[in-house]
Amino acid sequence: MKRLLLTSLVLATSLSARAETVTPAKPSTASSAAAAERTQWFREARFGMFIHWGVYAVPAGEWQGKPVGGIGEWIMKNGKIPVADYRAFAQNFTAAKYDPQAWARLAHTAGMKYVVVTAKHHDGFALYDSAASDWNAVKASGAKRDLIAPLATAVRAEGLKFGCYYSQSQDWVNEGGAKSGGKGSWDPAQNGDYDAYLQKVALPQVREIIERYDPAIIWWDTPIDMKGPRTKPFGDVLAAHPAIITNDRLGQGYGGDTKTPEQHIPPRGYPGELFEVCMTMNDTWGFKKNDVNWKSVRQILRNLSDISSKGGNFLLNVGPTAEGEIPAASIERLEAVGRWMAVNSVAIHATEAGPFPRRLPWGRVTQKRAADGATTLFAQVWDWPVDGKILLPTLMQLPVGGRLLAGGVSVTSELTAEGLVVRLPGAAPDADVSVVRLDFKAPAVITQEPYVTPGADGRVTFTAQDADAHGHWDGNIQLRDSGPGAYLTDWTNSKWRLEYQLKAPAALKWTVTAEIAAPVATGLLLTVAKTETPATVAVTGPGLTWQTVTLGEITLPAGLASFGLKGAAKGWKGLSVRHVWLTPVK
């Protein structure tokens, strides 16, 4: 994929293209009803498999005997590998152990509903026989065959939708393909006319993919220099195939159907809009033999729970080897996810975002609503309560029935001043995520305030669940654990930040204190709008040694207000955060 390590020029171009996008020029999106019908399967799917497979799997993260930093599929650019040398890798791209039926079966077993494969990535290598470029699996690689067609057949045989990723703009081998805004060439063999590349390679290949494989999705990436006149021909092709779902990365003038947050989960989702979180299982998309930083099954399941509770889809990646084997660690995790989905998929597939405006300390909620108003809530419990109770705040309705999906044990409920309290059995049926089904005769009415408000003593308390983590496509601050012990960690980039929102009764000055773990002294900034106040955090102790420290004072207006924590440009060493408090200054 990815935009990791692109120059600032590329980033500016990409973001500019997104900012200037308009409603897709698809006839079928003329009415919201038609759009909803066209995208219904995607909205109900919730879970899909991303496959990054190409010549980059041959060097597998190393060039000339040395490791190359960054993600695997970017090795050609990050290592500045000459075109001729990179082309030579293709002979060892054999796909000798490629089993498309096994890949499709794995996706189906994991509870996924669609598969998207890289028909062509930034290295320009097509996984099929393209008439527009000989740099493809049939003519240039040891595989010597079309690798897309059998996968498309296998995926559909499993009852899943099939889609293709296509890098329409960035291409490091075909002459003229965009490279860092057209100025990033490291080999004269890459030079050429960008518009000629779009017309002679990219556009014909898009037509080939659509005509040969009839994809349900086309997944664009990195719209470098894709201004309106360059985007329009691609939009015209798509207009003739209105059933195809696309993302928001084609270029200026084409907004697509879905937003595509990468490697992070948007704190509040995108209410009323389709979105799809794409994420790796380790630290790379394309295969790197030495990348063993695998996410746990728990983290994957909780990511799926979190994303679905916000009404989004989760596109989880695998990166096969040059021989066509999905790494064993990926298979083990997907099989474990499949065992969970075999019991709990009803809480994921065809669900809507939960009705609660704030994240719940014990887990997440999805819902299904029937035409007659009957509603089912799926309480996905991450942190099994010691006292056996979970609170659904401000919900003042008793369910007509409730049970655990795993085992079917019934649960009871009672109404309290705070909302509906559900009494759970003594032990969690699943240590990672346990699901409670609650059936109601009418829509769930929630009156919870969306934002944190001061307590009776005037103090404002923020948990880790209340923070909005703002990262980037290269990563984000991670939420770990749940309940009172939940904390935010893996804060490795000073540009990432935490945002806290509250509803204040009056304009006040506040003292900011926080529960922080800092193994090394680090610089921190308190932010309010464009104002940044420096704060220094001393060492709290090794690892997650928590201490409450005073960070400084801020002034906030009445009503909805926000402030943030951001790493200092100089002196940032990283830290973890659990609670943050605001105390009125008297």
- Which pLDDT does position 31 carry in this prediction? 56
Query: Domain 460-584 class?
Result: mainly beta
Q: At what angle do helices 328-344 and 297-309 cross, to 10 degrees?
A: 50
Residues sharing a CB contact under 8 Å with residue 239, sequence separation 6 or more, in sequence order: 25, 26, 27
Do 31 and 202 contact (CB within 8 A), yes or no?
A: no
Write the pLDDT tens digit of every residue in 500-512: 999 988 999 999 9
> Residue 180's pLDDT is what?
61
Helix, strand, coil in percent for the chain, rounding step 5: 25, 30, 45
CB 450: neighbour CB atoms within 10 A? 12
Q: Is 19 buried (19+), middle (13-18) or exposed (0-12) by CB count in 10 A?
A: exposed
Burial 231-258 (b: 16+ CB within 10 A, else e): bbebbeebeeeeebbbbbbbbbbbbbbb
Q: 563: which 2 tokens? A: 């402030």
* Domains 354-440 and 460-584 are alike in CATH topology: no
Neighbours of 102 (CB within 10 A): 15
> Token pair for residue 574?
């990283």
Cα(331)–Cα(320) distance, integer angstroms: 11
Which amino acid is located at 516 in the chain?
I
Say what the pLDDT of residue 183 is: 64
Task: Report how far residue 557's alpha carbon sits from residue 19's, in angstroms, rounded to the nearest whole number.
Answer: 29
Question: What homologous superfamily does CATH list for 354-440?
Answer: Golgi alpha-mannosidase II (2.60.40.1180)
DSSP string, 45-80: H-EEEEE--SGGGTTTTEETTEE--S-GGGHHHHTT
pLDDT, tens digit (0-9, with 9 covering 90-100), for 534-554 = 998 999 999 999 999 999 999
With a cut of 70, list the residues of the chain below it in pLDDT.
1-32, 180-183
> What is the assigned CATH class of domain 8-285?
alpha beta
355-358 long-range CB contacts below 8 Å, 24 or more apart?
Answer: 355/444, 355/446, 356/392, 356/393, 356/446, 356/448, 357/446, 357/448, 357/449, 357/450, 358/393, 358/448, 358/449, 358/450, 358/451, 358/452, 358/465, 358/466
- Give one word for 543, left, alpha or beta, with left for phi > 0 and alpha for psi -120 to 50: left
Which two tokens mark 315? 């596109």
The pLDDT value recorded for residue 482 is 74
Rounded distance between C-alpha atoms, residue 340 and residue 194, angstroms: 48
Contact 375, 443 (CB under 8 A): yes
**Strand ranges (E), 65-211:** 66-67, 114-120, 161-166
Domain ranges of the chain: 8-285, 354-440, 460-584
